Each structure stands twice: as structure tokens, then as C-alpha cells.
Amino acid sequence: MGRLDHKVAIITGGARGQGAEEGRLFAAEGATVVLADVLDDIGRRTADEIQGARYLHLDVRSEADWQATVDSIVEHYGRVDVLVNNAGIDLAKRFEQTTLEEWERVVAINQTGVFLGMRTVARAMLAANRGGSIINISSVAGMEGVKGRAAYGSTKWAVRGMTKTGAIEWGDRGIRVNSIHPGIIETPMTAGLRAFTDADVRARTERTIPLGRVGQPIDIANMALFLASDESSYCTGQEFVVDGGIHH
């Protein structure tokens, strides 16, 4: 039997990268998977490649989109057991050069999107009275300051804080909330970084990582699987750093 048999999971940013890898792994472990994204064509193709998976359009900034998505899942499957708040964007820009428009866009997707997802799914979980697992993808930039990531890092710290609040408020109803803090992971979102476009930079980067390699989406998916499963039933309000050992 799979570790997620009979569980219904929604994964935001599920069209590609970490979200798609989480979807593939969750389905292989028995979950009913719903991938949600704004990249509709890619998302549908990804869902078609995963047995039993479904794709739904979701702009995580939209309260109405969130409600429609959760309502649709509950109507079709009766409940939501797992939420992975994976959708996010990066912004590599120095603090003093960041415009208000750029700041607000990063906050809307990375922070408000997680808030709306947590709140909407928690309401459905509370109504079903079955408990559940909410997994928020933060970053190592939510564990320390990172040069050139004022907006991005701020949202990832906020995700860490929302995780702890949700864990405290919903723990007595069986809803667990944890955050994952990836290090440098090779995904479409990070493809433009010099660590992936310049072989010499990549080699130098990997020399700074105790495990000697950059991360892959499966590394994050494996941690998400643990947190989605009953194997982590006594874990809530915690940060799980997946970075090859840089933070130790």
C-alpha cells in the first residue's frame, strides 16, 4: 500500500518543477492529486502524464479562485486531506532598487497566496473534521537574510510565521502545518541563475555544499511526501531544511 492511499492532495504551482514532481510522487504513493496553476497548457499536459491526476486553473492571488478550486475538489472527492502551497516567484534585486510594484507582486503570490490557501483549505478540513496536512514551501531565505532577495526573502519569512500560527490554531482539530525550506534547487524558476548557466559557477557552488551537489525537485518532493503522510503525524509547526547541509 502507498503512504498516501485514500488521501486527496492539492498542489499549487503544480504544472512544472517541484510541484509537478510532488504530484508524480504523491500519485505513485496512492494519492488523488489535483495540480493547480496558471500555466494551463503545461499543467494539463503534466496532469495527463499522471494517472488519475486532475488539473485546475488557480491564480493563488485570487480569493475567488481559491474558493472555486476547493469547492470543486470537495464536490468531486468529498474532502481535501493535503495542501502543498508550492506556487511562488523569485525576484533577484537589491533592496534599494526594488519597486513597489515588484514588491507587491512577490508578496501577492508568495505570501498572500499562501495565506489564502491555508485559510480556504483549513475551512474545508475543519468542516470535514478529518484533520489534514498543510505543507508550505518556504526557502532557506526564510531562515536567514539573503543579499539581493529583500522581497522574496521577506515573503519566505512570512510563510514560516504563518506556518507556526496555523499549527497552533488548528492542532487540536488534527490539522498539521509545516514548512519546507529548500536550498538551491534546479527547477524552471531557478534556470536563469548563474549556478545553472555557467559550469564554473556551478562547480564553485557545489563545492560549498557539504553533499556536493545542487538539489533536484525529487529532494523536495520526498520531504513533502513525508509531511503529507501519517509517518509525520507528530510533526507540526516545524521547519524542514532541505539544502544539502549548508545550514547545519
Query: Beta strand 239-242 with 54-57: parallel, antiparallel or unpaired?
Result: unpaired
Q: Tell me the per-residue pLDDT of 59-76, one tens digit each, with 9 for 90 and over.
A: 999 999 999 999 999 999
- Mean pLDDT (whole number) for 103-129: 98
- Mean pLDDT (whole number) for 122-147: 96
DSSP 8-state symbol, 240: E
Provide the pLDDT for residue 195: 67
Q: Structural domain boundaries of the chain? A: 8-188+216-240
pTM of the model: 0.95
Closest alpha carbon to 10 in 172, 118, 88, 115:
118
In a 3-state reduction of DSSP, which class is residue 62? coil
Provide the pLDDT for residue 199: 80
Q: Tell me the per-residue pLDDT of 17-29, one tens digit each, with 9 for 90 and over.
A: 999 999 999 999 9
158: Cβ contacts below 8 Å, ≥ 6 apart = 110, 111, 114, 142
Catalytic residues, by residue number, are 152
- Exposure on the CB side of residue 36, measured as CA atoms within 13 A: 26
Asked if the model's pLDDT at residue 214 lies above 90, the reply is: no
Asked if the model's pLDDT at residue 3 lies above 80, the reply is: yes
Asked if the model's pLDDT at residue 190 lies above 80, the reply is: no
pLDDT band at 202 (very low <50, low <70, confident <90, very high): confident
Closest alpha carbon to 169 in 219, 123, 233:
123
Q: Yes or no: say if 182 and 137 are a contact pair by the CB < 8 Å rule.
A: yes
What CATH number belongs to 8-188+216-240?
3.40.50.720
pLDDT band at 215 (very low <50, low <70, confident <90, very high): confident
Provide the pLDDT for residue 31: 98
